[in-house]
A and B are shown apart, each in its own frame.
Chain A
Amino acid sequence: AQSVAQPEDQVNVAEGNPLTVKCTYSVSGNPYLFWYVQYPNRGLQFLLKYITGDNLVKGSYGFEAEFNKSQTSFHLKKPSALVSDSALYFCAVRDHDYKLSFGAGTTVTVRA
């Protein structure tokens, strides 16, 4: 079975500092990896995806993610965090049945 893990329940950073949210994956075959963000009492918003090609993927709202095959990681990054980036972030992997398997989520808090 394909799965992802998010080792950190919470990440706290100061506004303007770099933000990293970690994700590791376990798949058989080619990984299709996604990041979503969830604001309170809202659905999930798509941020970015890795399918193939460049290991650095750029997405919405200034986010990017680095795919590392040797470390089986797909960490989400933002060079300069904003207070408005405070939210719940989910890493997900899509399998051959097209279902998404999500991590447990990481709560990001950006302090002013």
Chain B
Amino acid sequence: ETGVTQSPTHLIKTRGQQVTLRCSSQSGHNTVSWYQQALGQGPQFIFQYYREEENGRGNFPPRFSGLQFPNYSSELNVNALELDDSALYLCASSSYRGANTEAFFGQGTRLTVV
């Protein structure tokens, strides 16, 4: 177990709806990143938060947004859901000490958009 927990584990939404996914980072970690893993593909970087500020973003539209809270937990919000948003969403926490530190992942949230 990594100490990174995500909720919910599964959910089904209808196209056009909005969804919020949650992540609790590992104790002592101040950085949270979110990744989207479509079926049969490697994870794709969505964005990263450090001390409540977004400090990196991948090639995702603005309807993907996030928050990090003072306790370093995080939310991923997706508006106007599309069918292609169906994927496993992974949260990873790490300590912002340098690019050589490993990230620890949660078990993921499986989102299905119908």
Q: Interface residues, chain A, CB within 8 Å of chain B?
A: 32, 34, 36, 41-46, 49, 51, 90, 94-105
| Cβ A32 vs Cβ B100 within 8 A | yes
Contacts of B96 in A (CB 8 A): 98
Q: Interface on chain A toward B: helix, strand, loop, or mixed SS?
A: loop
Which of B42, B90, B102 has the most chain A CB atoms inside 10 A of its CB?
B42
Give the interface residue-count category, chain B. Answer: 20 to 34
B65 interface residue (CB < 8 Å to A): no
Contacts of A95 in B (CB 8 A): 99
CB of A79, distance to nearest CB on chain B (Å): 23
Partner of A97, one of B4, B42, B56: B56
A-B pairs with beta carbons under 8 Å apart, 11 shown: A32-B99, A32-B100, A36-B105, A42-B108, A49-B100, A90-B42, A97-B55, A98-B56, A100-B92, A103-B42, A104-B41
Q: Looking across the interface, which residue of chain A has its beta carbon closest to that of B44?
A: A102
